[in-house]
Structures are given as C-alpha cells and as structure tokens.
Amino acid sequence: MSDCIFCKIAAGEIPSTKRYEDEEIIAFNDLYPQAPVHFLVVPKKHIASAADITPENSAVVSKCFEVIAQLAKKENLSGGFRVITNSGADAGQTVDHLHFHILAGSNLGPKLCPDK
C-alpha cells in the first residue's frame, strides 16, 4: 500500500534499525521503545491486522513466529519475552499493517492491560 509506513520500511523507502530481513519478513527496532528491548516483526506483504489473517496469507504469520524464536536466541532473550499484536481501535493499533511487538529486557510484570 502506497501510504503505509511499514510497507515503506519494508521497501527501504523509510529508514529503520533492522534486526532481521529476508524476502518475506523484516524486523526492526520500535521508534518509541516501551521496554529495554522492543522490536517489531513484520510481514513485508501488506496485511492490515490480525483480523485479516486468512488461510491464503497465514503462512507468513507462522514464519514470523519462527523468526521471533530465532531472534530470541540470537539476541539472548533467555529471561523471556512478550509478543503482542494490536488489532483495531480498541486495542490501540496505530499502524494498520500487521506487526508483532517483541518486548523484553526487564521483568514486564503480569499485566497485559492498564487498570481501568
């Protein structure tokens, strides 16, 4: 998609601090880290969100999780890590291109959501 920031990063049109790249997937540091380690694993093909995963495009999602496991070993995240994907407005999705946040580097605590 021409106006999608992550499509532009995948195409090399916007700079990023890359942690991994192959023909289908790119991983790069989040611009506004929310943990000591915070990077994004992103399929290069535009999929808007987790709500748009189908039998036709899900192979790359599985591959994203292989890359996540590979990067966790490479980056020595032996203390653990959290994988998050926000889908839609209520979840706070701000970039409408499927991506997985990898958060690590400190004890992230038990809560996934702030208190209401």
Catalytic residues: 99
Q: Using the rule CB under 5 A, which residue among 19, 97, 99, 101 binds Zn ion?
A: 97
How far apart (Å, rounded) are the C-alpha atoms in residues 87 and 45?
A: 17
Is the CB of residue 18 less than 8 Å from the CB of residue 27? yes
39 binds, among ligand AMP, Zn ion, none (CB under 5 to 8 A by kind): none
How far apart (Å, rounded) are the C-alpha atoms in residues 35 and 97?
A: 21
* Closest approach of Zn ion to the CB of residue 112, in Å: 25
Q: Is 94 one of the binding residues for ligand AMP (CB under 6 A)?
A: yes
The DSSP string of 52-110 is G--TTTTHHHHHHHHHHHHHHHHTT-TT-EEEE---SGGGT--S-S--EEEEESS---S
Stretch that binds ligand AMP, among 24-32, 54-62, 73-81, 107-115 (CB under 6 A): 24-32
* x/- letters, 54..93, toward ligand AMP (CB under 6 A): --------------------------------x-----xx
Q: Is 100 one of the binding residues for ligand AMP (CB under 6 A)?
A: no
